């Protein structure tokens, strides 16, 4: 009886202990140390209980259940540990991925910014090149138009620049030419003044064979777009060695078409082979142009140097203007023409001599009349009209 009571108490103790174990196991969660303590308590209790078969069976069953529960708890602890580690690892991975994403995003933004700047740079460069190309095309177009004008000059411009400034001088048996170099209102007197450049031998011959010219002045015909204008001119200055003369016209009419004269500082630039027009009134005709070139710049005759031109000329061209073909500026005054033979001389029309503009400048300076030829610096080969 006593033994049975002891066994019952032992069984109750086991139940109490199991309940305690179960309560502790419920609070394990993630604590591995409590599992070890449970194992130790179970082993101690097992050693205290007598090895009776029935109790031993119950004990083994309880221990098996406890072991199973403990194993489950250990698995849960292990899973939770792994989960915690995985969570921590994933958290680090997520943070690293977030940082990588931020870095990639920043790099992409920088790349986009650099790409935008590069595109803008290319666009600016393309715009600049386009503008440069357009400007170059405009310059090329202007050059082409200029060359086209040289190859096939505009007739109206040629007439305005070359034929309209030409004048014709007439006597009884003499005809010659001249060029209107100035037509403006004098600032001091308020009167319009017109000045004509010509060859001295033409004026001399007219005054010799036409007594009327000595009294009334030399007959001069001007060619205005509205029609011919007849007037008279008086000799103001001349140089017989240079074969040059300056006339002042007796008219208060101002003419818009005046010859453009090569500036002084460009006179030395004229070279042989330069294309020229010879403008004159041969045989009493209205002004006509002939074209040629400067054949020589050194032809001394009676101590005076002349230029030779090969533009066809004839009697009546004397005193007419010689113009550069490209810029249409006055570069000389036609003076003489070569002839061959004595008794019945033959005119050589492509061998004419003209007084160069530089010599005329120097002569007018000596006469204190250099101010009558006023030019501005030439641009693109063209001299500005006289003031």
Residue with tokens 């003044």: 193
Contact (CB, 8 A) for 174 and 222: no
- Name the E strands within the chain: 166-170, 175-185, 192-198, 218-224, 227-239, 244-249, 275-280, 288-301, 304-309, 321-324, 330-340, 346-356
Q: Which residue has the higher pLDDT, 90 or 260?
A: 260
At 182, is the pLDDT very low, low, confident or very high (cuts 50, 70, 90)?
A: very high
- In this predicted structure, the answer to whether residue 338 has a pLDDT above a threshold of 70 is yes
Radius of gyration over alpha carbons of the chain, in Å?
A: 60
Nearest to 169 by CA among 372, 291, 333: 333
Which pLDDT tens digit goes with each residue over 74-86?
677 677 666 666 6
Question: How many angstroms separate the CA atoms of 348 and 353, rounded?
Answer: 11
For 261, which DSSP code? B
Question: How many angstroms separate the CA atoms of 29 and 31, rounded?
Answer: 6
Please tell me the number of Cα atoms within 13 Å of 86 on its side-chain side. Answer: 6
Q: Residues near 22 by Cβ (< 8 Å), separated by ≥ 6?
A: 66, 69
Which pLDDT tens digit goes with each residue over 347-370?
888 999 999 999 999 999 999 998
Q: Which two three-digit tokens encode residue 16?
A: 């109490």
The structural architecture, per CATH, of the domain 156-372 is: Beta Barrel (2.40)
Which pLDDT tens digit goes with each residue over 131-164?
887 888 788 777 766 665 556 678 889 999 999 9
Residue with tokens 């017109």: 194
Which pLDDT tens digit goes with each residue over 14-52?
555 555 545 554 554 545 565 566 566 656 655 555 455
How many contiguous H segments (helices) and E segments (strands) does the chain have? 7, 12
- Beta strand 304-309 pairing with 346-356: antiparallel
Mean pLDDT score, 40-68 = 61
Question: How many angstroms separate the CA atoms of 37 and 47, rounded?
Answer: 16
User: For a pLDDT cut of 90, what percent of the chain falls above it?
Assistant: 42
Contact (CB, 8 A) for 276 and 311: yes
Question: How many angstroms separate the CA atoms of 346 and 369, rounded?
Answer: 38
Of the ranges 89-103, 141-155, 159-173, which is most confident? Answer: 159-173
Looking at the DSSP bridge assignments, the partners of residue 338 are 348
Question: Given this model, what pLDDT does residue 90 score?
Answer: 58
Q: Residues near 196 by Cβ (< 8 Å), separated by ≥ 6?
A: 167, 178, 179, 180, 181, 220, 233, 246, 247, 248, 249
Residue 38 backbone phi and psi in degrees, to 5? -60, -45
Burial class (CB in 10 A: 0-12, 13-18, 19+), 103: exposed
Question: How many angstroms separate the CA atoms of 278 and 320, rounded?
Answer: 7
Question: How many angstroms separate the CA atoms of 318 and 310, rounded?
Answer: 15
Give the domain ranges of the chain.
2-91, 156-372
Mean pLDDT score, 240-254 = 95
Contact (CB, 8 A) for 349 and 339: no
pTM, rounded to two decimals: 0.60
Q: SS3 sequence, 126-140? A: HHHHHHHHHHHHHHH
Which residues in 235-270 are b (16+ Cβ under 10 Å) and which e?
A: bebbbeebbbbbbbbebeeebebbbbbbbeebbeeb
Question: How many angstroms separate the CA atoms of 197 and 354, rounded?
Answer: 13
Contact (CB, 8 A) for 343 and 289: no
Looking at the DSSP bridge assignments, the partners of residue 330 are 261, 323
Which pLDDT tens digit goes with each residue over 279-291?
999 999 999 999 9
At 229, is the pLDDT very low, low, confident or very high (cuts 50, 70, 90)?
A: very high
Q: In whole angstroms, what separates CA 340 from the centre of its chain?
A: 58
Q: Which two three-digit tokens encode residue 76?
A: 């849960």
């Amino acid at each position: 009886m006593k033994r049975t009571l002891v066994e019952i108490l032992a069984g109750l103790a086991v139940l109490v202990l199991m309940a305690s174990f179960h309560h502790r196991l419920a609070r394990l969660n993630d604590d591995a140390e409590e599992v070890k303590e449970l194992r130790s308590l179970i082993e101690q209790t097992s050693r205290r209980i007598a090895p009776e078969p029935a109790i031993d069976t119950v004990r083994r069953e309880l221990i098996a259940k406890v072991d199973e529960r403990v194993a489950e708890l250990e698995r849960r602890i292990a899973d939770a540990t792994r989960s915690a580690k995985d969570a921590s690892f994933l958290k680090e991975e997520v943070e690293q991925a977030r940082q990588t994403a931020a870095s990639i995003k920043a790099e992409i933004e920088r790349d986009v910014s650099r790409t935008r700047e590069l595109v803008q740079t290319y666009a600016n460069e393309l715009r600049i090149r386009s503008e440069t190309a357009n400007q170059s095309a405009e310059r090329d177009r202007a050059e082409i138009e200029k060359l086209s004008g040289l190859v096939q000059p505009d007739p109206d411009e040629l007439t305005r620049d070359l034929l309209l400034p030409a004048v014709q001088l007439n006597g009884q048996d003499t005809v010659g030419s001249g060029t209107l170099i100035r037509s403006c209102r004098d600032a001091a007197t308020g009167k319009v003044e017109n000045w004509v450049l010509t060859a001295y031998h033409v004026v001399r011959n007219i005054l010799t064979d036409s007594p009327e010219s000595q009294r009334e002045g030399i007959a001069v015909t001007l060619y205005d777009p509205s029609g011919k204008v007849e007037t008279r001119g008086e000799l103001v200055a001349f140089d017989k060695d240079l074969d040059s003369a300056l006339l002042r016209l007796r008219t208060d009419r101002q003419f818009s078409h005046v010859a453009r004269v090569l500036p002084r500082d460009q006179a030395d630039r004229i070279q042989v082979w330069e294309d020229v027009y010879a403008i004159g009134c041969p045989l009493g005709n209205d002004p006509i142009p002939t074209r040629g070139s400067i054949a020589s710049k050194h032809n001394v005759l009676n101590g005076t140097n002349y230029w030779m031109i090969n533009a066809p000329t004839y009697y009546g061209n004397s005193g007419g203007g010689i113009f550069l073909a490209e810029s249409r500026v006055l570069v000389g005054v036609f003076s003489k023409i070569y002839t061959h033979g004595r008794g019945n001389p033959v005119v050589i029309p492509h061998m004419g001599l003209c007084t160069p503009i530089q010599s005329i400048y120097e002569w007018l300076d000596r006469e204190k009349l250099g101010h009558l030829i006023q030019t501005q610096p030439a641009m693109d080969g063209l001299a500005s009209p006289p003031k």
